[in-house]
Structure 1
Amino acid sequence: MGLCRVFVLFLFLILTIVSLSFTVSATDSSENEEEWREYVVTLDTHNFTQFVSQHDFMVVEFYAAWCGACQELAPEWEKAAKILSQNEPPIVLAKVDANDQQNKQLANKHGLKGFPTIKILKDGGNVIADYKGPREANAIVSYVIQQTGPPSIEITSSQDASALIVDDGFAIMGVFEEFSGEEYEKFIVLAERLRSGINFGHTKDTKHLPIVGDSSSSPNNIEGPFVRLYKPFDELFEDFQNFDVDVLEKLIDVSSTPLVTYYDHMERYYLRKFLGTRNAKAMLYVDYTSDDYDAFKSTYYDVAKQFKGKGVSFLMGDVEASQKVLESIDLNVDQVPILIIETKSFVGIKYIKPKVSPEHILSFVKDFKDGKLQPYRKSAPIPEVNDGPIKIVVHDNLQDMLFNSGKNVLLEFTASWSEKSKKFGPILEDIAHSFQDDDIMIATFDTEKNDYPTETFKIIHFPTLYFATPSGTLLSYDGDKTKEAIIDFIQKNRDGAHLNDSSTKEEL
């Protein structure tokens, strides 16, 4: 009987352990399922419109699988999506593979300029704004939740106002007698338009506005409603009373960029903004350790101030940090201090003042604006001997070789890094041998060593071929890159083609 009891007890223990094992296993399975659940919604061209139309507010990332920045963002985006799914009401984060061919049209519709691009979609997709926030999970959550609130908050104390000026030092505050009327309504429209990149607030009492710098920032001498932009550079604040939304947006954009951008890895945001501007770009490179550095910095700032809003943006860089930039345009440190102005219209059009002094900066910029300067063009040396089957053309002899040689000229635009150019080299060599002792010239132009007139030649890939005749015709070649196809093109388009259809010295 004792043995029986022991056996029953042993059996009970075994069953209990097994039961607990199943319970733990089930719990682990549930937890694993929760852990591996994907909270970011995957959208594509088939479900995008319908899904977005069902949400008053959501955020969508357009990504490409090969993009390193997208890969870094992915786990943070997923963490943020999990947290936001528990918000009340829940907020959806989604993603679209913009590199997938089926989603190309969807990506183009949203004006992607790079990866990742993140868009805030409101009112079922009727309102779209750029996401300009952080890329870390908790910061993403805070930023997104802030975007769901009112576009501008009421300021009732100086503490409210100071809280709007976050780490980047920017904020926009409007002062109104009443929170109604045309000016106030336009301010709210502006706030809705720009809120993804800057905090907005409004108040009836100017005493709540932060005093920055010195007492000159006191708004007591301003009559009527106005808008104040706070910023972490230059004057530290700027006031506006033009309430045309488009005009005000442009004024704020200009004023939220430093008068002088510095070529510094710590200033990447402003550097990207400088490089992306449509303005002409003035770039001053000096030795930051030189005795006249302070004079250059002060003078350059004053010149930038004079040309604010006049279509010229200004950058200053230390020659040591900027050496590769100078080398890329065939300049060297021996020419420093050097002032370069690059136009907004055509790639490669630059105006250069080497060995510039502080007192000559203003006159050089003025002469540029008045159209008095001759552009600088990078050119390799003209070859002393140029008798090979393929002629070498450089910038400084482009006009003579292409249009004044008296020959029909096939000109190849190439780049040393282009694999297609390397593969095309032997084909061009064969074509050149086919036309030896003829009035056909085969030539090549290295775009890495030479600038070219981009208003004349449209080059979007390598190699690019153009054909010029003595009579002045200039044609681009868009056919197959084969010996037969190109020779046929030359024969059909050369001067006098109707008189002689068999000028080649080699049977095809």
Structure 2
Amino acid sequence: MATPQPRRWIPYPPLISVCASLWWLSAAAASVHEFPTDGTVIELDDASFERAISAFDLILVDFYAPWCGHCKRLAPELDKAAQVLAQLNDPITIAKINADKYTKHAAKYEIDGYPTMKLFMHGVPMEYTGPRNAELLVRFLKKFVAPDISFLESDSAVQNFIDMAGANFPVFIGFGLNESVILELAHEYKKKAWFSVAKDFSEEIMVAYDFDKVPALVSLHPKYNEQSVFYGPFEGEFLEDFIRQNQLPLTVPINSETLKLVKDDERKIVLTIVEDELDENSLKLVRILRSAATANRDLIFGYVGVKQWGEFVDAFDISKRSKLPKLLVWDGKEEYHIVVGSEYLDDNDQGSQISRFLEEYREGKTIKREMDGPSLIGFINSLISIRTVYLIVFIVAVLMVIQNFSQTEENPQFRGIQDGAEGTDASTSHIESCRDYQPVNKED
């Protein structure tokens, strides 16, 4: 009779694999459930910051300071927006961190003013420059969870898409266009524009959006009530040039929101400076500039009013005595060109004057100038925090005090004359005043 062999214990691989998977899933879930997902704005610190941006695919972080008035006004808007964004199919979380107290991550992400908001997509940061009103902020952030291309099957779908897109981004609709043609560019420009392809539409839509054949790519700027049509060729640099040039409207009002977009563009800026960009004559001039912009898409046409942004305008040697409107061509950095004899506009046939200015600019009949140094104060104010300003003032004050003491020590003859004139009573008075001195509270 054979002797029975003892049974050997053999681990069951599928069971081990399942257990390991469950362990990893529970660990990942724990990292998410560490933070509320009910639409509450999450308060972060240096310890929880990295865990938060790793736990959420999309999280908007507000770097704030408790003493900042703008931060206090922004807080309730973020509270309202967070409730809506948490309900999206692809939710977006909002968090905040006191960057004045927790300086580690403020330094890491180069936070130099408050409030500063950054959107982290899978842990990768990008600066948020959109609106701060709750409703508009929600619309702006929806862009980041939308598909690269939306497909529209009817006239109503086209209108609903435009309404949903809102006014903060340009909208591109390919009518009768194969989505593969624009798929790569739609992905590349996703953060800057909406893209869609309309497969089924009526003649009424063609009339409404001013195209008479297909395929056609229509660009819309709802905020500026502008649109352009591109009939091809739908390839290479031709298609990308159309999309890139239509990121901005034909005429751009230069302000703190549009300045970064303009400077990021590679084109030169034909800048028109007026007294007040909202008065009737300026609005008429903007319409004329729009016509010039249509024929000169290699240039950006911008306008700015002295009344609206005087600090910016001062950089171009504009004073109260300057004749306006004035035309110049700015490189978006520190240089600009003027066309002598054609830089000022009068009220007679401004279209011809603008055409002459552009013609002479292209012929090189210009004078190059540097932006004025003192006017850069306006830019500095927008780039650094008030604490930095206080620090600079404090350092300058300390240096002045040190210099004064040094001068006193280096002139003993002057000090001796002064001591002789004051006499013994003055010395006694000085000693008594020193005894009476008491240091005050540093916080005061």
- Following TM superposition, by how much is the alpha carbon of 1:418 offset from its aligned partner in structure 2, in angstroms? 6.4
Deviation (angstroms), 1:54: 3.7
One-letter amino acid of the structure 2 residue matched with residue 339 of structure 1: K
Q: Does 1:372 align with 2:365?
A: yes
Q: Normalising to structure 2: TM-score of the pair? A: 0.57
Q: Which residue is 1:256 aligned to?
A: 247
Q: 2: CA distance between counterparts of 1:142 and 1:290?
A: 30
Which has more helix, going by share of residues?
A: 2
1:229 paired to 2:219: yes
Mapped to 1, the partners of 2:250 and 2:131 lie a distance apart of: 25
In structure 2, C-alpha distance between the alignment counterparts of 1:423 and 1:362, rounded to whole Å: 56
Report whether the alignment pairs 1:218 with 2:238.
no
Q: Please state whether the residue corresponding to 2:196 is helix, strand or coil.
A: strand
Which of 271, 276, 299 is 1:283 aligned to? 271
Deviation at 1:346, TM superposition (A): 5.2
Task: Tell me whether 1:39 sits opposite 2:34 in the alignment.
Answer: no
Instruction: Determine whether 1:162 maps to 2:164.
Output: no
AA in 1 matched with 2:155: S
Paired with 1:209 and 1:130, the residues of 2 have a C-alpha distance of 40
Look up the SS of the partner of 1:135 in the other structure: coil
- Structure 1 residue 339 corresponds to structure 2 residue 326: yes
- Offset from partner CA, 1:185-214 (integer Å, 9 cap, x none): 4255246x23xx54432232353884466x
Indicate the SS of the match to 2:368: coil
Q: Secondary structure at the match of 2:367?
A: coil
Paired residue secondary structure (1:200): strand
1:423-462 to 2 correspondences below 5 Å: 427=403
Q: Matched residues in 1 for 2:285 and 2:77: separation?
A: 44
SS in 2 for 1:257: coil
Aligned partner of 2:298 in structure 1 is 309
1:319-340 residue CA offsets vs partner (Å, 9 max, x unmatched): 6657666556554354423424
What is the DSSP-based 3-state SS (H/G/I as helix, E as strand, rest coil) of the residue aligned with 1:229?
A: strand
Give the superposition deviation at 1:88: 6.6
Deviations along 1:193-250, one digit per CA (max 9) or x if unpaired, are 23xx54432232353884466x7x2242x34xx5322224475233264667998566
**Partner amino acid for 2:228?**
F
Alignment of 1:94-133 (within 5 A): 94-98=95-99, 100-104=102-106, 106-108=108-110, 115-121=115-121, 124-125=122-123
Deviation at 1:81, TM superposition (A): 3.1
Task: Confirm or deny: 8 A CA contact 2:62 2:116 kept in the other structure.
Answer: yes
**Compared CA separation, residues 60 and 306, structure 1 to 2 (3 A):** same
Offset of residue 103 of structure 1: 0.7
TM-score by length of 1: 0.51
RMSD across aligned positions (CA): 4.9
Residue of 118, 135, 142 corresponding to 2:132: 135
Equivalent position of 1:73 in the other structure: 74
Partner SS state of residue 375, structure 1: strand
Q: Given the superposition, is the C-alpha separation of residues 97 and 278 from structure 1 closer, same or farther in structure 2, using an over 3 Å criterion?
A: farther
Instruction: Tell me the number of residue pairs that the alignment of Structure 1 and Structure 2 aligns.
Output: 340
Distance 2:51 2:144 in 1: 23
Q: 1:231 to 1:164 in 2, by over 3 A?
A: same
Say if 2:201 is the partner of 1:203: no
Secondary structure of 1:39's partner? coil
Say which of 197, 215, 238 aligns to 2:229.
238
Distance 2:252 2:221 in 1: 14
Partner residue in 2 for 1:172: 172
**Identity of matched residues, %:** 17
Given the superposition, is the C-alpha separation of residues 367 and 81 from structure 1 closer, same or farther in structure 2, using an over 3 Å criterion? same
Question: How far apart are 1:164 and its partner, in Å?
Answer: 1.8
CA distance in 2, matches of 1:306, 1:175: 24
Per-residue CA deviation, residues 168-199 of structure 1 (Å, 9 max, x unaligned), is 284222345666xx4264255246x23xx544
Aligned to 1:236, the other structure's residue is in SS state strand
Q: Which amino acid aligns with 1:201?
A: S
- CA–CA separation in structure 2 for the residues paired with 1:348 and 1:177: 42
Letter in 1 for 2:105: N
Deviation per CA, 1:242-291: give whole Å up to 9, x if none: 6679985664342232322346xxx7744664466554433333567999
Tell me, in whole angstroms, the C-alpha distance in 2 between the residues paired with 1:141 and 1:203.
25
Opposite residue 168 of structure 1, the aligned amino acid is A
Q: Which moved more, 1:204-213 or 1:95-104?
A: 204-213
Would the alpha carbon gap of residues 205 and 245 (structure 1) be closer, same or farther in structure 2, given more than 3 Å must change?
farther
Query: What does the per-residue CA deviation read over 1:84-138, in whole Å, with 9 as the maximum and x for residues that have no partner?
Result: 5566776532234555431146415xx99974223152xx436x66656653445
| Distance change in 2, residues 1:40/1:255 (3 Å) | same
Deviation at 1:308, TM superposition (A): 1.9
Residue by residue over 1:445-503, the C-alpha shift from the partner in whole angstroms, topping out at 9 and shown as x without a partner, is: xxxxxxxxxxxxxxxxxxxxxxxxxxxxxxxxxxxxxxxxxxxxxxxxxxxxxxxxxxx
Aligned residue identity for 1:307? N
Counterpart residue number, 1:189: 187
- In structure 2, relative to structure 1, the CA distance for the partners of 1:277 and 1:171 (3 Å cut) is closer
Q: What per-residue deviation string (whole Å, max 9, x for no partner) do you get for residues 283-334 of structure 1?
A: 3335679998798556544443343224x543254x6657666556554354
Change beyond 3 A, Cα 1:143–1:102: same
Distance in 2, matches of 1:292 and 1:41, equals 49
Please state whether the residue corresponding to 2:331 is helix, strand or coil.
coil
